[in-house]
Amino acid sequence: MDFATIIGVLVGLSLIFGAIFWQANLQDINPGVFYETISVMIVVGGTLAATAIAFPLKEVRRLLTIIGAVFKGGRVEMGTLVDEIVDMGTVARKGPKDLENALDEVGNPFLKDGLQMVVDGYSVEEIRDILATRVEYREEREMTEANMFKAMGKFAPAFGILGTLIGLVFMLNGMSAEGGGAAMAGRIGRGMATALIPTFYGAFLANLFLLPMAEKLLSQITSKSTQQNMITEGVCLLQMKKHPLIVREKINSFVPPREWKRTEPGGGA
Amino acid sequence: MDFATIIGVLVGLSLIFGAIFWQANLQDINPGVFYETISVMIVVGGTLAATAIAFPLKEVRRLLTIIGAVFKGGRVEMGTLVDEIVDMGTVARKGPKDLENALDEVGNPFLKDGLQMVVDGYSVEEIRDILATRVEYREEREMTEANMFKAMGKFAPAFGILGTLIGLVFMLNGMSAEGGGAAMAGRIGRGMATALIPTFYGAFLANLFLLPMAEKLLSQITSKSTQQNMITEGVCLLQMKKHPLIVREKINSFVPPREWKRTEPGGGA
Amino acid sequence: MDFATIIGVLVGLSLIFGAIFWQANLQDINPGVFYETISVMIVVGGTLAATAIAFPLKEVRRLLTIIGAVFKGGRVEMGTLVDEIVDMGTVARKGPKDLENALDEVGNPFLKDGLQMVVDGYSVEEIRDILATRVEYREEREMTEANMFKAMGKFAPAFGILGTLIGLVFMLNGMSAEGGGAAMAGRIGRGMATALIPTFYGAFLANLFLLPMAEKLLSQITSKSTQQNMITEGVCLLQMKKHPLIVREKINSFVPPREWKRTEPGGGA
Amino acid sequence: MDFATIIGVLVGLSLIFGAIFWQANLQDINPGVFYETISVMIVVGGTLAATAIAFPLKEVRRLLTIIGAVFKGGRVEMGTLVDEIVDMGTVARKGPKDLENALDEVGNPFLKDGLQMVVDGYSVEEIRDILATRVEYREEREMTEANMFKAMGKFAPAFGILGTLIGLVFMLNGMSAEGGGAAMAGRIGRGMATALIPTFYGAFLANLFLLPMAEKLLSQITSKSTQQNMITEGVCLLQMKKHPLIVREKINSFVPPREWKRTEPGGGA
Amino acid sequence: MDFATIIGVLVGLSLIFGAIFWQANLQDINPGVFYETISVMIVVGGTLAATAIAFPLKEVRRLLTIIGAVFKGGRVEMGTLVDEIVDMGTVARKGPKDLENALDEVGNPFLKDGLQMVVDGYSVEEIRDILATRVEYREEREMTEANMFKAMGKFAPAFGILGTLIGLVFMLNGMSAEGGGAAMAGRIGRGMATALIPTFYGAFLANLFLLPMAEKLLSQITSKSTQQNMITEGVCLLQMKKHPLIVREKINSFVPPREWKRTEPGGGA
């Protein structure tokens, strides 16, 4: 569970709504002026419609799944993964049988598939080639998802402005009706306030949800690729039957130095 | 047929027009104020003129064809394609004659051309080289089309603003004529409302049609390239007479794991 | 002659000027309010000054030549070029003498230089290296030209806004002088209208000329590079004395399948 | 300590606050109008909330550490590092024992790790591979940090505008209440002034802190990578037991010519 | 001396100031309203402060030197350089002694260093490697300088807007004080005019100086790299003792065909 995301959403919502209610209270204005059904229709509906046009149905249908993934987070500690690969290296040096028996304990499916290829006797070039292709196209698929959120983060403010333009055209056309300067000022004020609501919705959705989520998806993609590239390197070293000390040294280069552990010289081999 | 696109267009249009008619009804204003011939001329005409300058005639003439392609969609299921390639692998191992006979059943023209080269005895390097060049330049050509929509998506709001500037200059120059504050307010209101219409048109065209379509074209290009890269890899493995199990393993790396099928060990070879 | 460009310019100008004259007629306002010498000075002059600072004199002086190139167009049909290369392949197989004699008929200077190298006995690696370098640096030089138009397309609206700011400062400073509300409203209106003119000029220049031309230059660069890369590949295949059927197959990969022609089996060799 | 950063922050703050107090004094307006608790909540709180959603908790928690790194600076003089590597080259030619003894004097941890690999007998390919991977993934991790600041530099003005929209909606809804034109003008003025405060905060935070810091992080990443690439090259040359004159010539190519020193021919070897 | 730059600056300044004085004269308003000390403080000071935070002190201190370089220009004619390299090729074929003697006449320091390596007997791979690294890191260093101007070109308008926001907050807060509609209109007008001045300064600095200079630095980097890549290629061909005719043919590929000269067959060798 990615608590930062949940805290961010809750804090963001509290701040914006808190500010609105506080100010409403101070000025004795009904905070309900911030809810406007037509504006919700234009901004939320328009954004979803544009997204349905812009992306394959398959991706659009996964929208909620992807939002769930953003909240779930789930970054594996790289240090633990290094240990697991180095341990598997010790097992692999005993023989493919031992490695095959140990496979059930491996949690990471990418590592498991890689080790299975070692057991099946694929060459180092084949393993590297297959795993690198998997990483490349996994990145590409997930990038489409991140791009979908980025695009939504651009559509939302654009439909907000569209809604505001519609509101302004009505307000301005209604300006001819009168009843004295003060009444007119009040009417214009309320009309413009209503016209600004969709822009507010668009900016709110984009900056508190859509754009931060796109950013989080991008950083999840990068971090997953680092992990899988490290696994690829590790599995190739295992297939070459390299000494666990060298395996650790090599795959440690994917990890920030402050997370390195050293294998005890006598323990690893 | 890409239903998401059609639904998106219909929902988007209904929402925007619905919002306009609803609001028009509420405020008792004629919704016809949203139609303005001069604005259509400036925004639609200006965008098309700029596009005709910016892109080769050949591409501009294909505008409707490309829009059709966006609506038609047509993403092949990758899983099915994997099966087809693996099946062809089994056939190819029997001999080039068998492969040639099986060619007629192949639907995908890119796969067909690749298999034809296997039949014609091209080397793996030649096949990879020719097919990779085809993918590269197909991408480049289709990218020009996507860029055309992207550029139109920038021209439309720009001509919208140009139209609004023209409208404002007229409205402001007409401000001197008078007849009492209230009449003037009414006149200014209507003038500004009319001046905003082209900006509304530009934002509407760009965000509900042009930009989402550019995005869809981009994702169609990527997905087609993934498919063709997989075919290229598969055809090269066929030419090398690799075992169907290995072919499947290798080309599966282009496909998301949740779509993998495994060949029954006894069935494939 | 690139008719799309010319039609685009004419249509764009007619639409904008048509809209202005139509509206001027409707509202009985002199369309001459859209001409303002000071604004022309600021927008056109400022854009040219910034361009002179931003780009090498050599490029700036070629401004008109480049605009001419945009209008001239001149995309060779790829299919014809494929035929020419394949024909030369048949000649080249007879011997370098025959190729040398045939050189005079070659129109494309890039192809001619490539074939001359075949005649002069350069190796495939040398030919590929020299021609690839020429393509790379031709692209780089032409990219500078496209960037110049792109930069001008950003400077023009920026100087437009600068001019509007100057106009607003004057209008606002003149606001103190009075003579009754209505007179003031008229004065403010005319002042603001004048202040908006430079923004109009900037948006007009950028969106109807500078940005579309930058885009056209970019697509001309890409299309020329595709052509030259195909020629490079073709000349190398000629030097390797490959069979015309294979030459056609290989260089066809640069061309969209719908433009392919097949050499008659008996005719090419 | 990076004095430029500290001076920049101090000068920037003095200028902005100085301008506010000066103007406040001139117009006899309380400068306290520039402080608004609700606006701080929306802009600072909203930006932090969006950042917590957009980036892994791990990075967000390091926010202050990263700001500290920006202020600390710490660019090593490249010339000194060249000398150190060349000196180590002289030591390395004596034998691995001598190099091992000299390791304690090496300050740069990246150089130290590289030299340790030379002592441990890693091959040139292995050293280059391990060090290059470390540089690549260090860059990637630090890029996430720079991107976090860049994203914050976009969120801050966006939440500023969000706050201004909220303020405008309240101000406009309150416009109906009256008490004579002058009173209304005063009320509208103060309402709009308050509504502009969050936009001011957003622009202030983004342009004086967040965006410059993102830029500084980027240039620190580049400069550190240049340094580490030079070390990688140097360590590989050491492992190949190249003559110190050649080592200096080669690694000098990473350094601007004006910082080159020449090894005295007799001294280095 | 790059006259285009100087002419650009002079013409740009004359146009903007000319427009201001002309309009001031027409409307009988003191052009001095365009000078505002507080605005200069905010825009120029703020931009420099942000730059000091964003870039290493070393670069910031070189600001004036870099501006000097933009004005100095100094693009060597590529054709002359080709001749020089071809001539050196003729000398190099006589022997390293002759080449060493000719070194003093070489003006370009990059070419000189390359030829010195030929004299010193470096291998082609070593020469290419060292020179390519020098080009790569020279580009990187100069890119930092170009980026500094680009960043300043973004900071200047941003601080302009910041200044305008400050001015607006003061103007709006002062709106309550009154003295009849006309007096108020005058006061508001002057207040808004003053508030717009910093935005004017920001747009002026960015579009007439900072952004064009960033663009010029970028094109100088590209043109210098083309030159140095050509020298690298040429020096390698010299080390391989290639015939001057081939040297010219090969390095001509870096130069636009319209600048090619042909070595007389008898003269070069």
pLDDT tens, position by position, D111-143: 999 999 999 999 999 999 999 999 999 999 999
Q: With beta carbons under 8 A apart, name residues in chain C contacting E203.
A: 158, 161-162, 165
Dihedral sign for Cα atoms in the order E104, E105, E108, E113: negative
Mutate to test the interface with B, among A147, A169, A178, A197 (most CBs of B within 10 A): A169
pLDDT tens-digit map of A104-147: 889 899 999 999 999 999 999 999 999 999 999 999 999 999 99
Q: Would the CB atoms of B173 and C212 count as touching at under 8 Å?
A: no
**What pLDDT does A54 receive?**
93
**What pLDDT does D186 receive?**
82
pLDDT winner (highest mean) among A182-191, A241-250, E144-153, E178-187: E144-153
Q: Provide the 10 A C-beta neighbour count for residue A23.
A: 17
What residue of A is the nearest CA neighbor of B31?
A170
Give, rounded to a whole angstrom, the gap between the first and last alpha carbons of chain A: 36
| CB-closest option in B49, B58, B134 to C11 | B49
Q: Please give the Cα distance from A65 to A145 (Å, whole number).
A: 11
**What pLDDT does B186 receive?**
82
**What pLDDT does D24 receive?**
93
**What pLDDT does A187 receive?**
83
Q: Would the CB atoms of C131 and E253 count as touching at under 8 Å?
A: yes
| CB-closest option in D12, D22, D185 to E184 | D185
Q: Please give the Cα distance from C18 to C199 (Å, whole number).
A: 19
**What pLDDT does A1 receive?**
65
Q: With beta carbons under 8 A apart, name residues in chain D contacting A193.
A: 168-169, 172-173
Mean pLDDT score of chain A: 90
**pLDDT over 80 at D261, yes or no:** no
| CB-closest option in A49, A109, A169 to B15 | A49
Between C47 and A261, where is the model more confident?
C47
Mean pLDDT score of chain C: 90
Residues near D165 by beta carbon (within 8 Å), at least 6 away in sequence: A196, A199, A200, A203
Nearest to E3 by CA among E58, E69, E85, E73: E73
Q: Please give the Cα distance from B188 to B172 (Å, whole number).
A: 8
User: How sure is the predictor about E27, in pLDDT bands with cuts at 50, 70 and 90?
Assistant: confident
**pLDDT over 60 at C177, yes or no:** no
Percent of residues, chain A, with pLDDT higher than 90 = 69
Q: Provide the 10 A C-beta neighbour count for residue E266.
A: 6
- When pLDDT is averaged across residues D218-229 and rounded to a whole number, the result is 93
Q: What share of chain D is helix, strand, coil (3-state, %, to 5)?
A: 85, 0, 15
Q: Which amino acid is at A170?
A: F
Q: Structure tokens of A146?
A: 């991140």
Q: Do chains E and A touch (3 or more CB pairs under 8 A)?
A: no
User: How sure is the predictor about C269, in pLDDT bands with cuts at 50, 70 and 90?
Assistant: very low
For A162-206, strand residue ranges (E) read none
Q: What is the DSSP letter of A6?
A: H
Nearest to E176 by CA among D189, D167, A185: D189
User: How sure is the predictor about A72, in pLDDT bands with cuts at 50, 70 and 90?
Assistant: confident
- When pLDDT is averaged across residues A214-237 and rounded to a whole number, the result is 94
- Chain D, chain E: beta-carbon pairs less than 8 Å apart: 172
User: How sure is the predictor about A174, in pLDDT bands with cuts at 50, 70 and 90?
Assistant: confident
Closest-CA distance, A143 to chain B, in angstroms, reads: 10
Nearest to B156 by CA among A55, C207, A159: C207
- When pLDDT is averaged across residues E34-45 and rounded to a whole number, the result is 95
**What pLDDT does C1 receive?**
64
Please state the length of chain B: 269
pLDDT tens-digit map of C96-127: 889 999 998 898 999 999 999 999 999 999 99
**What pLDDT does D178 receive?**
59
pLDDT tens-digit map of E104-143: 889 899 999 999 999 999 999 999 999 999 999 999 999 9
**What pLDDT does A176 receive?**
62
Q: What is the DSSP letter of E76?
A: P
**What pLDDT does C128 receive?**
96
Q: Please give the Cα distance from A248 to A88 (Å, whole number).
A: 11
Mutate to test the interface with A, among B2, B13, B14, B16 (most CBs of A within 10 A): B16
Q: Provide the 10 A C-beta neighbour count for residue D84.
A: 18
Q: How would DSSP label each residue in B46-85?
A: HHHHHHHHHS-HHHHHTHHHHHHHHHH--PPPHHHHHHHH
Q: What is the DSSP letter of E253?
A: G
User: How sure is the predictor about E213, in pLDDT bands with cuts at 50, 70 and 90?
Assistant: very high
**pLDDT over 50 at C267, yes or no:** no
Query: What pTM was estimated for this model as a whole?
Result: 0.93
| CB-closest option in D73, D190, D215 to E172 | D190
**What pLDDT does E178 receive?**
59
Tens place of pLDDT for every residue, chain B, 269 residues?
678 889 999 999 999 999 999 999 988 899 999 999 999 999 999 999 999 999 988 888 888 999 988 888 766 678 889 999 999 999 988 888 899 999 988 989 999 999 999 999 999 999 999 999 999 999 999 999 999 999 999 999 999 999 999 999 999 988 765 566 667 778 888 899 999 999 999 999 999 999 999 999 999 999 999 999 999 999 999 999 999 989 999 999 999 988 887 654 443 33
Which chains, if any, share at least 3 CB pairs under 8 A with chain D? Answer: A, E
ipTM passes above 0.85: yes
Which chains, if any, share at least 3 CB pairs under 8 A with chain E? Answer: C, D
Q: Please give the Cα distance from D44 to D204 (Å, whole number).
A: 11
User: How sure is the predictor about C178, in pLDDT bands with cuts at 50, 70 and 90?
Assistant: low
**pLDDT over 90 at E269, yes or no:** no
**pLDDT over 50 at E266, yes or no:** no
**What pLDDT does E265 receive?**
46
pLDDT tens-digit map of D148-176: 999 999 999 999 999 999 999 999 988 76
Q: Do chains C and D touch (3 or more CB pairs under 8 A)?
A: no
Q: Please give the Cα distance from B25 to A162 (Å, whole number).
A: 19
- When pLDDT is averaged across residues C68-79 and rounded to a whole number, the result is 78
Mean pLDDT score of chain E: 90
Q: Structure tokens of B79?
A: 């899983």
Q: Would the CB atoms of C8 and B53 count as touching at under 8 Å?
A: yes
Q: Please give the Cα distance from A147 to A139 (Å, whole number).
A: 12
**pLDDT over 50 at C59, yes or no:** yes
User: By mean pLDDT, which of A58-62, B85-89, B238-242, D52-56 is the weakest?
Assistant: A58-62
